Amino acid sequence: VKVEIIVTEGDQGQTISSLVTNIGASTVILGLHDRSFLY
């Protein structure tokens, strides 16, 4: 099992999308929190 944790701030949707494709992730969990962090 391979686990990757990526934390970005701001609107990084395109970056995350291409990164998910590159690492071959099967599950992506996104969450918007009080300080505008996207997980």
Residue 23 domain flag: yes
pLDDT value for 39: 45
State residue 31's pLDDT score. Answer: 59
The type of residue at 15 is: T
Domain that residue 22 falls in: 8-38
Residue of 4, 8, 3 whose CA lies nearest to 31: 8
For the chain, where are the alpha helices, taking DSSP H only? 13-23
Average pLDDT estimate for 19-36: 60
User: Is 27 inside a domain boundary?
Assistant: yes
Is the pLDDT at 37 greater than 60? The verdict is no
Q: Is residue 32 part of a domain?
A: yes
* Residue 19 resides in a domain: yes
Q: Is residue 1 part of a domain?
A: no
The answer as to whether 26 is a domain residue is: yes
Query: Is the Cα dihedral 28, 6, 33, 14 positive or negative?
Result: negative
CB 30 within 8 A of CB 20: no
Q: Give me the mean pLDDT over the 8-17 stretch.
A: 62
pLDDT band of 16, cuts 50, 70, 90: low
Number of domains in the chain: 1
pTM of the predicted structure, to 2 decimals: 0.26
Q: Considering the domain boundaries, does residue 14 fall inside one?
A: yes
